Amino acid sequence: MKKKFDYLLFIAVIILVIFGLVMIYSASSIWSEYKFNDSFHYVKQQALFIILGIFIMYMASKIDYNFYYEKANIILGICFLLLILVLIPGIGSIRNGSRSWFGIGPFGIQPSEAAKIAMLIFTSKYLMSSNKYLKSYKKGVFPILGVLLVFFGLIMLQPDLGTGIVLVISIIALLFIAGVDMKFFFVSGIIGVIGIIILIIIAPYRMDRITSFINPWKDPLGTGFQIIQSLYAIGPSGLFGNGFLNSIQKHFYLPEPQTDFIFSIIAEEFGVLGAFIVVSLFAFILYRCIKISLNAPDKFSKYLSFGLIFQIIFQTILNLMVVIGMIPVTGVTLPFLSYGGSSLLISMASMGILLNISRYTIK
């Protein structure tokens, strides 16, 4: 029986998004005024994406999730085509060293973000229809891994390691939930380590990121600069922080703090308490979505709902670990909070799908 969607989840997402817009203003106003002579430049752009994102989330909450089951192959095919097109000079544009964008005026759209959802939809359908073959690597696991490898390869050609990692780990987690033999994950771990070594060899700048993570003060004005400035923002913030708009690091110390390192500014201005509230909101969203997944009416919706929330939370954890210096810089945004249209729209679309599934939960 169709019910109302999970309003608590909806409200939690809206709170995060609005707070994100406020913090984008705080984090970007100085740089925005200097670069564009308009302290609201980034806020205006993000506000447009938020309005569009809320509309997409609401519309996705109205679309029966079975639609994605029926159109999974088409959705995957479209994203595959877009990942190829974005690599073609003149079609895809280069930003921050990656050819991963379609430029639309002042805005940019990343097809790799949409590919993350497409792969989850396709994998959820595959796991439901091939459940009896999951104990067989040849029949059950290898086909989906082949598709994953193709998509990961196209994303790495851009290159975009952060998005590639989020995509791969999300699908591996989905396979684990589906009950694939544990030996597969052991072998996958070995292959993954070998793959990381190869990626470092073919792109030495990644080794620079690792060495700067181990000892950022070895090159404080180069590869270690971002993480050092992030720690300078978080370290002295105390329980309540410096107060709203009183960040020091946003004054040309932390590069473009409105993007990947926005959590640093949140911690600097609102302290441990503010950081705890933000993390608690993500934890609440995780709780509501896990509840939706556990009570989903069929295996497809269970797999899809779990995959969507795992992907968002894993990306969140990855971003926070970078910001506090636990892992090397990966270039992933903080969902709902960081400046960036593609990431926001895909995160909102994911929430919309989860809200639709919540309409059909059995409890």
Is residue 124 one of the residues assigned to a domain? Answer: yes
Higher pLDDT, 89 or 208: 89
Q: What residues make up the domain containing 197?
A: 7-358
Task: Name the token pair of 283.
Answer: 């934890």
Residue 206 has pLDDT above 70, yes or no: no
- pLDDT-based confidence at 131, cuts 50/70/90? low
Is residue 82 one of the residues assigned to a domain? Answer: yes
Is residue 2 one of the residues assigned to a domain? Answer: no
Residue 68 has pLDDT above 70, yes or no: yes
What's the chain's average pLDDT? 86
- Of 175, 188, 165, 192, nearest to 307 (Cα)? 175
> What is the number of structural domains in the chain?
1
Q: Which of 61-70, 97-106, 299-308 has the lowest mean pLDDT?
A: 97-106
Is residue 249 one of the residues assigned to a domain? Answer: yes
d(CA 50, CA 304): 24
- pLDDT-based confidence at 67, cuts 50/70/90? very high
pLDDT above 90 covers a percentage of the chain that reads 48
Is residue 363 one of the residues assigned to a domain? Answer: no
Residue 138 has pLDDT above 60, yes or no: no
Is residue 125 one of the residues assigned to a domain? Answer: yes
Q: Which of 23-37, 121-135, 199-213, 256-270 has the lowest mean pLDDT?
A: 199-213
Is residue 1 one of the residues assigned to a domain? Answer: no
Alpha helices in 1-40, H assignment, sequence order: 7-36
Find the mean pLDDT for residues 225-231: 84
Residue 137 has pLDDT above 70, yes or no: no
Per-residue burial over 232-252, b if 16 or more Cβ lie within 10 Å, else e, is bbbeebeeebbeeeebebbee
pLDDT number for residue 199 = 65
Q: Which of 25-34, 89-98, 291-300 has the lowest mean pLDDT?
A: 89-98
Residue 182 has pLDDT above 70, yes or no: no
Find the mean pLDDT for residues 82-99: 81
What confidence tens digit (pLDDT) does each residue in 325-341 have? 888 777 789 999 999 88
pLDDT number for residue 356 = 95
Question: What contacts 326, CB < 8 A, 6 or more positions away?
Answer: none
Residue 207 has pLDDT above 60, yes or no: yes
pTM: 0.91
Is residue 94 one of the residues assigned to a domain? Answer: yes
Higher pLDDT, 259 or 95: 259
d(CA 153, CA 175): 20
* Residues 249/257, Cβ–Cβ less than 8 Å: yes
What confidence tens digit (pLDDT) does each residue in 244-301 have? 999 899 888 888 888 889 999 999 999 999 999 999 999 999 999 999 999 998 999 9
